[in-house]
Amino acid sequence: MNPVSAGAGERETIPYCDNCDDPAVYFDPRLQRHLCEVHLSQDVERRVIDRLARHGMIHDGDRIAIGLSGGKDSSVLLSILSRVIRERWDAELIAITVDEGIAGYREETIQSAVSLTKRLGISHHIVSFQSLFGTTLDFLLTAHPLRACTACGILRKKALSDAARDISADSIATGHNLSDAAQSVLMNYLRGDFERLLRDSSRREDRGFIRRIKPLLDVHEKEITLYSMVNGITGMLPECPYATTAFRAEVRTLQAGIEYHYPGASLRIIEGQESLSKQAKKTVRPGTVGYCASCGDPCSGHVCQACGLLQNLNK
């Protein structure tokens, strides 16, 4: 850290990168290090590449569907994968954007997704709740505003899966980061939902479901935000108007507080969940998978979550 003049009679310490002489843009509290724009970017990319290789997420010949919302996480994911895959694997990337139908919000993020795919030269498909389910999220939630994120998550997952199946994708890559994943684990614990807690959707033998991969799982949300800023990937975008009603919003505050006071806690939460999932595979038989009576998708019940949700909301 080098001191510089801050004004008459004052001196201020400005942090510099621990790897070079450039000003730092990020401090990693877990490893106690400062990183500049270049070294932050390199460090994020290294962790993404390492997770891809360590978990065998990509293979030559794969066709990978990228769930591209247009927000910072999925946009950073697409930007990194578009480069590292060309350098390391003979695989194809196709971006899929789901338009849920959220007025005053989705238009801007979709345009961001369109601009990014054009800039990167990536094939881009846009599907909508309106075309798939005959309605928008806004209309569905008129009488159920507090169920917004639950309904959206279930229907968006089906929309993305259907679109990925239509293009014969081998896997679906999503922009879930370390902070998101830690929050999900905590939510499953708090709900007592141990089936979800122990679920591993990254297995290739996924019993009819398309394999899902999460290359950003070793990267914090703050690091992704900074990566997006310093590399000019996305600008300021609106926040989903339904986000404040979600249970996740409360858990996000809890997770952020834990990480602040105990740096590295989020990583340990994920490592613990992955360990539990591996142990469960040895002792718990997978449940019987059938097919949805309504849409034909693989599911564990009579109807899949999406069809069941639509039936209940339309009552």
Residue 189 lies in a domain: yes
**262 and 139 housed in the same domain:** yes
Other beta carbons within 10 Å of 120: 17
- Cross-strand pairs, 64: 93, 171
Average pLDDT over residues 191-210: 68
Residue 10 confidence (pLDDT)? 43
Who's near 275: CB < 8 A, 6+ residues apart? none
Q: Residue 304 sits in which domain range?
A: 288-315
Give the total number of structural domains in the chain.
3
pLDDT digits (tens, 9 = 90+) for 22-37: 999 999 999 999 999 9
* pLDDT-wise least confident of 48-62, 102-116, 204-218, 261-275: 204-218
- pLDDT over threshold 80, residue 282: no
Residue 145 confidence (pLDDT)? 66
**240 and 133 housed in the same domain:** yes
Answer yes or no: pTM beyond 0.85: yes
Q: How much of the chain, in percent, has pLDDT values that exceed 70? A: 88
Q: Is the CB of residue 41 less than 8 Å from the CB of residue 231?
A: yes
Residue 140 confidence (pLDDT)? 85
Numbers of helices and strands, H then E, in the chain = 12, 11
- pLDDT over threshold 60, residue 9: no
**160 and 307 housed in the same domain:** no
Q: Tell me the CA end-to-end span of the chain in Å, nearest whole number.
A: 63
Cα(5)–Cα(9) distance, integer angstroms: 9
Please tell me what DSSP assigns to residue 210.
Answer: P
**178 and 301 housed in the same domain:** no
Residue 165 lies in a domain: yes
Burial of 52 (0-12, 13-18, 19+ CB in 10 A): buried
Residue 11 confidence (pLDDT)? 41
For residue 7, give Cα distances in angstroms to 3, 4, 10, 23, 61.
12, 9, 5, 19, 59
For residue 235, give Cα distances in angstroms to 69, 108, 158, 165, 309.
14, 11, 28, 31, 34
Residue 6 confidence (pLDDT)? 39
Residue 40 lies in a domain: no
- Cα 270 to its chain centre, rounded Å, is 14
Cα(16)–Cα(38) distance, integer angstroms: 12
Residue 307 lies in a domain: yes
Residue 42 lies in a domain: no
Residue 41 lies in a domain: no
**79 and 158 housed in the same domain:** yes
User: Which residue has better confidence, 294 or 82?
Assistant: 82
| 3-class secondary-structure state, position 79 | helix
Q: Is the CB of residue 183 less than 8 Å from the CB of residue 256?
A: no
pLDDT digits (tens, 9 = 90+) for 159-197: 999 999 999 999 999 999 999 999 999 998 888 887 777
- pLDDT over threshold 80, residue 125: yes
Residue 3 confidence (pLDDT)? 38
Residue 140 lies in a domain: yes
User: Which residue has better confidence, 250 or 198?
Assistant: 250
Domain of 118, CATH number, reads 3.40.50.620
**238 and 191 housed in the same domain:** yes
**102 and 249 housed in the same domain:** yes
User: Which residue has better confidence, 121 or 200?
Assistant: 121
Compute the half-sphere exposure of residue 194: CA atoms within 13 Å on the CB side of its CA: 3
**127 and 219 housed in the same domain:** yes
pLDDT category at 8 given cuts 50, 70, 90 is very low
Residue 5 confidence (pLDDT)? 36
**85 and 128 housed in the same domain:** yes
The mean of the pLDDT values for the chain is 87
- pLDDT over threshold 70, residue 203: no
pLDDT category at 4 given cuts 50, 70, 90 is very low
Cα(163)–Cα(210) distance, integer angstroms: 11
Residue 202 confidence (pLDDT)? 55
**141 and 102 housed in the same domain:** yes
Residue 315 confidence (pLDDT)? 65
- Backbone torsions φ then ψ of 211, nearest 5 degrees: -60, 135
**104 and 176 housed in the same domain:** yes
Residue 43 lies in a domain: no
**17 and 131 housed in the same domain:** no
User: Which residue has better confidence, 6 or 182?
Assistant: 182
Instruction: Extract the tokens encoding 286.
Output: 């997978």
User: Left, alpha or beta for 36 (phi > 0: left; psi -120 to 50: alpha)?
Assistant: beta
pLDDT category at 208 given cuts 50, 70, 90 is low
